[in-house]
Amino acid sequence: MSLVVYNTLSREKEPFVPIDAGHVRLYVCGPTVYDYVHIGNARPVVAFDVLYRLLKRRYPRVTYVRNITDIDDRIMVRAADNRETIDALTTRTASAYQSDMRRLGALTPDFEPRATQYVGEMVEMIGRLVDKGHAYAAEGHVLFSVPSMADYGRLSRRTRDELVAGARVEVAPYKKDPADFVLWKPSTAEQPGWPSPWGRGRPGWHIECSAMSARHLGETFDIHAGGLDLIFPHHENEIAQSRCAFGHGLMAKYWMHNGFLNISGEKMSKSLGNFFTVHELLDQYPGEVIRLLLLSAHYRQPLDFTHEGLVQAKATLDRWYGILRGRDAAPAEPVPQTVEEALSDDLNTPLAISAVHQLGDPAALRAGANALGLLQQDAEAWFRWTPAGAAGPTDAEIEAAIAARQAARKARDFKESDRIRDDLKAKGVILEDGPKGTTWKRG
């Protein structure tokens, strides 16, 4: 079963043919860790986690890299506002990000490099660009010379005027061309900085991904992925840096981009009061609920993230876990063909979810959902999940009430039995009587 992906570089679906069939290499742009990440940041993680899972089923070795940007002007501002060190801020927020992504069911990347650990590689790469005439030093800065690359703009397909306008470039007297972008910039004594041939300073944003991908995946690799908003200028500039530094015709063979996420039909914005972090949403819903909603639209299409969508996703997972309830976890099975075919067509997760709905056999259901990173836990644990800070009886209190109800039923005191059931229901606990006894779930 062949895998087909949409390549932003060609604007077409293409058969996926790895550079080396024995080792597939994938890079996904990660977050800038100055705060808890918003729900939009989770979309590429979840979408390309499904891709990572699929590639691991198809190829003997897959290396997945997802970076963390831990040096950025926003980080410096936030650290100052918080009156904490940059290292303390980024360590705390990066740890929260990693924990939140695990709770969304995302597999841990093979490498998760932090930018500050690779400044040496960035300095070396900038030096290459200077030596080859693709970059120049000016007033403590080093800038990439956009006119030095004949086909700059191929990924975004923008005209020169659009490139200059879209980049929102800083007008600076030391630039040779308005489109040139910063590779290195000077740091004041109060700002973090590293030594370099051009003076103490820090790297620009774009160079970090070029340096880290080259370090872990090589000068050319198979797939580079990220959000649609990164096509220009970030990914365009990555391509320019990597191709010009290493002299290859490509940086990554396939470029994959996920669409935007809206909240109830509107762009997410703090000013509109519809800005949600993954961290706070995970206090309100199980991670798999959020994950299922993120996968409910095709990754390249816009996604409307709503409360109603979360409620529907919870109901779907309740039904699926209900089928698994009381059954021993079956040995791993191959992914059902209908699910695998859907995912092989450019990660068509809505079609894959539809296929999972048709799987009545518990083992097949689990195998199909597992391909999407769903149904990863024990069914009983699923039904006992409760929102953070929610009032209600403890598991032990519920079990004691069920035992009291069973005793009442045995004594034919059905009035008391019904009272216990109704009391639990009022507290958000639903009892279900079956051939094997009474089970419960939090409503």
Q: pLDDT value at position 164?
A: 72
Confidence category of residue 327, pLDDT binned at 50, 70, 90: confident
Q: What is the DSSP-derived secondary structure letter of residue 270?
A: G
Q: Is the pLDDT of residue 223 over 60?
A: yes
Confidence category of residue 328, pLDDT binned at 50, 70, 90: low
Distances in whole angstroms, Cα of residue 170 to Cα of each of 143, 164, 232, 327: 12, 10, 16, 62
Token pair recorded at residue 357: 């709905």
- In whole angstroms, give the CA distance from residue 85 to residue 97: 18
Q: What is the rounded average pLDDT for all residues in the chain?
A: 93
Q: pLDDT value at position 233?
A: 93
Of 271, 292, 296, 272, which is closest to residue 281 (Cα–Cα)?
292
- What's the pLDDT tens digit per position in 263-294? 988 888 777 778 899 999 999 999 999 999 99
Q: pLDDT value at position 11?
A: 98
Percent of the chain with pLDDT over 90: 78
Q: What's the whole-number mean pLDDT along residues 378-398?
A: 85
Q: What's the whole-number mean pLDDT along residues 78-99?
A: 97
Could you tell me which residues come within 8 angstroms of residue 54 by beta carbon, excluding any fewer than 6 positions away? 3, 343, 344, 347, 371
Q: Is the pLDDT of residue 440 over 90?
A: no
Of 254, 228, 226, 252, which is closest to residue 240 (Cα–Cα)?
252
Distances in whole angstroms, Cα of residue 314 to Cα of each of 167, 320, 380: 41, 10, 15
- What's the pLDDT tens digit per position in 336-383? 999 999 999 999 999 999 999 999 899 999 999 999 999 999 999 999
Provide the angle, in degrees to the nearest 10, between the axes of the packed helices 287-295 and 307-324: 110
